[in-house]
Copies of this chain bind each other. A is one copy, B any other.
Amino acid sequence: MSFATLNEMNKTFKKILNNASELFAEKGYEGTIMDELCIRSGVNKASIYYHFKDKSNLYEVVLTKLFSEVADQIIVAVSSQTAPLEKLKSFIETFAQETYQNKQMPATLMREIASGGKNMPIPARKQMQRILQTLSSILKEGAEQQVFKQVDPLTTHFIIIGSLCFFSTSEPMRQAIESEHPLDPDLNSTIAEIYSLISSAIILN
């Protein structure tokens, strides 16, 4: 089943896709049961196999969609800015917001990275690279304009992505932990904190 634009997809296809996206994020690949997917989607089991070759193909389509949407958003947001620092801010904010609004992407990414990306479908991996590429360009541009220090983009990438993924997906856990901290930090302050952290670390003063 090729990956077409949303408009071309029919209703059942979309229902399956959305519910699969949810389930894979919640329970991982192995933890996701096709039967439950049918029930959630309100479709017949065989319908899934009409639209998708098998579970692994479904996973591929889901991941590619998930990652490409975030990549697209980031690229659009970043390209609307001109200054490297603004671009960096845009990158962090967009990733944070996307990630916080839709926890499926960070959850899935974390699982994939945990298993060493062995099962990560190639097209999905391509989308992850687009995101990394975008950050690399920003950092390079900043360094060229002598605004940023020379930093390793991969490390920087993991600091940003890693902390934001942990932050957004840990929400339910944080509530489970009987914390002595009355104030659960909100998204915006976290974004601000991470942004100030990163920028203070890489800005050439």
- Chain B: which residue is nearest A120 at the CB level? B173
Copies held by the complex: 4
Write out, one digit per residue, whether chain A residues 104-127 have a CB within 8 A of any chain B CB (1) or not (0): 001110110111111010000100
- A172-B116, A198-B197 given as contacts; is B154 within 8 A of A158 (CB)? no
User: Which residue of B29, B30, B152, B196 is within 8 Å of A185 (Cβ)?
Assistant: B152
A56 within 8 A of B: no
Q: How far is the CA of A163 from the CA of B29 in the complex (A)?
A: 24
User: Which residue of B155, B194, B197, B198 is within 8 Å of A189 (Cβ)?
Assistant: B155
Task: Point out the residues of chain B lying under 8 angstroms from A159, CB to CB.
Answer: 159, 163, 166-167, 193-194, 197
Task: Point out the residues of chain B lying under 8 angstroms from A169, CB to CB.
Answer: 113-114, 116
